[in-house]
A and B are shown apart, each in its own frame.
Chain A
Amino acid sequence: MNRYFRELSVAAALAVVLAALAVFAPAFYQPQPLLTLITGQVAPTLVVACGMTLVIVCREIDISVGSSFAICGVCGGLLLSHGVAVAVALPAAIVLGAIMGAFNGALIAGLGLPSIVVTLATMVTWREALRWLRQGVYVNIGGAQWFGLDQAAGQWTMIVVALAILLPLAWATKHLAAGRFVYAVGTDAEAARLAGIRPRLVTFLTFVLIGAFTGLAAMMAAVQSPQVDPTAGTGLELRTIAAVVVGGVSISGGRGNLWGVLAGLLLLSSINPALTYLGVSAYWEKAIQGAIILLAVVADGLRSRKQKH
């Protein structure tokens, strides 16, 4: 069986959905709504999913991304609303995200605590802190929408930024020793340690990276409207983890790549508009997404069983 069978089957499923839309709902391919959907729904999620891929390949998980996404968006938005330049506000949000990621990473890699528990705690803490501080009030960024560009330029910028994260990272995971370290640590941290790799450092850095990516994604999402929603990012962790798992990354670490994750994210993101275009009730959306995730997990389970025997 082909090494990339899993990725290819996701890509095939995506192709089937896109082909079905072309036949039954050609309206899907109008440029404006499609561009808005990609910039609004896909691009920021993809950036977070890139970080999530590394974290899961490293055999950890981060469920606090939704909360740090909201915090970075609001803080970046507040800077913009006070007239701070984009060139300052954007890096500030990224650094803030990286700091929150480093906090998770220090607890997980430094103290050896389980990542699901640590990030569950930070997810709740950060979300509630923001709720207390902002009371749900939107942040008006007004003229800073689209980073001050016009709509078309802003939308293309989002796509370029997402690709500017995805492409180098996809290259780096395959062509940099650092990328291979992540896979080695995720597969067998003790073997990696014996080989002179520092598993704890690698784990820590993946959390810093997902934090920085989350900060970037939060700003990408924030500037798509004149108001930043402090409840944004609710459920983001589920959407990214779903995309990563559907894309063929093994939840037990060490396997998968970003191309599969891209296909998985596009597949999951296309289900909802597809249902609207095909006139199917929204009641089916979650059920279909759940079925896709289940299928992916079962496929991985069968594969790892086969490997063991």
Chain B
Amino acid sequence: MKRLLVLSLVATGLLLSGCGKTEPAAAAASGKKLTIAMLPKSKGNAYFLSAAKGAQKAADALGDTLLFDGPTQTDPAKQNEIVEGWINKGVDVIAVAAEDKDALSTALRKAQGKGIKVVSFDADVLPDARTFFVNQATPQGIGYALMDEAARLCDSEGEFAIITASLTAANQNEWKKNIDERLKTYPKMTLVDFRPCDDDKSKAQAEATTLMSAHPNLKLIMAICSPGVPGAAEAVKQAGKTGKVKVIGLGLPNENKAYVHGGVTDSVILWNTEELGALAIQAADALARGTLKPGDKTFKAGDKTYDIVGDNIMLGKPFIFNKDNIDQFDF
């Protein structure tokens, strides 16, 4: 799938905007069946199909109608067209993942002007063009989850190394800061090296190969850019150190399935896309019915309660894909 996008998505998640423009909740008959439109960046994309699967389940449970449509390939202009179509059709609420936030915001403001509620998920638009953003991850959540998982696999003891995108990548440096923060709680773990792979799978493989041979006691390689995870895993496989050197990282299930099943990669960390889709629909529904209002501190959906920071509804802790669950995801 689109690991290019995932990185930018996470970047968007970083921008925890403090203020969302609020608007009195329009009255919506609480018993009425709502029409919820969901706009992914591209509808052929496995990542968004997975989110749509969760969204459909949520819509069914709520008794709403879900319209899922988007460009076949990522295409900001097509996104605008689809939103215009929905405005004319008169849907109740729209949930969007923006390809180009400036371009899409104009169309969404128009929708808001017609009384249509808007939430964004996955990739935010400008704050005044939606009421809430369903935020899938924070740097702290990612950093802590990676470090905790590494410690769990190493029994909180031993050497590990990190492969990053580049030494200047802003996202990766933010995660690294949180990993370092969390590392303080594991005094017996040592970070022996931190090397860039220039977002290149084959360079990641070379780096991992050298790291293993330069640090014979290395217990784990943590890749915090998506090409790094399969790259490091291939290196471990080729070095014949499967099981001896563990691999974890931030990436996508499909890129890593073979290595997870082969026992090379132990955990791939991202967020649960089905839950992200479901939450987007639940938030959209609640916003249209007036049960979710700007200024709320928490949002209760089904049997889970999500935190709201400013106008960001937080999906919560990242999700860990492993041997047991990875086959349920296809992106």
Residues of A whose CB lies within 8 Å of any CB of B are 25, 27-28, 30, 32-33, 36-37, 40-41, 131-132, 135-138, 140, 142, 151, 221, 224-227, 229, 231-232, 234-235, 272-273, 276-277, 279, 282-283
Contact = CB atoms under 8 A, between A and B. Distances in A.
B73 A132 contact: yes
Contacts of B230: 138, 225, 227
A40 B3 contact: no
Contacts of B193: 276, 279, 282
- Say whether chain B's binding surface is mostly helix, strand, loop, or mixed: helix
Interface string B57-84: 0000000000000000110000000000
B182 interface: no
B239 interface: yes
Contacts of B235: 36
A21 to B, nearest CB: 11
A229 B205 CA distance: 12
B202 interface: yes
A138 B193 CA distance: 28
A232 B200 contact: yes
Contacts of A221: 202
Chain B interface: which size bin? 35 or more
A142 B254 CA distance: 13
A149 B106 CA distance: 55
26 contacts: A25-B214, A33-B210, A33-B239, A37-B206, A37-B209, A41-B206, A131-B4, A132-B73, A135-B4, A136-B1, A140-B258, A142-B258, A225-B230, A225-B231, A226-B258, A227-B255, A227-B258, A229-B200, A229-B201, A232-B202, A234-B200, A235-B200, A272-B210, A276-B214, A277-B214, A282-B194
Given A33-B212, A229-B227, A234 B198 contact: yes
Contact of B1 (A137, A229, A282): A137
B128 to A, nearest CB: 30
Given A37-B206, A229-B202, A231-B4, 17 more contacts: A27-B214, A32-B239, A33-B210, A40-B202, A135-B5, A135-B74, A138-B254, A140-B258, A221-B202, A231-B200, A231-B201, A235-B200, A276-B193, A276-B210, A282-B167, A282-B195, A282-B196
Contact of A225 (B194, B205, B212, B254): B205
Contacts of B209: 33, 36-37, 40
Across the A-B interface, the 3 shortest Cβ-Cβ residue pairs: A33-B213, A136-B4, A229-B201
B210 A273 contact: yes
Contacts of A25: 214
B199 A234 contact: yes
Nearest to A132: B73
Contacts of A36: 205-206, 209, 235, 238-239
A106 B312 CA distance: 54
B262 to A, nearest CB: 10
A224 B73 contact: no
B246 to A, nearest CB: 18
A34 to B, nearest CB: 8
A137 B202 contact: no
B42 interface: yes
A248 B134 CA distance: 56
A135 B211 CA distance: 31
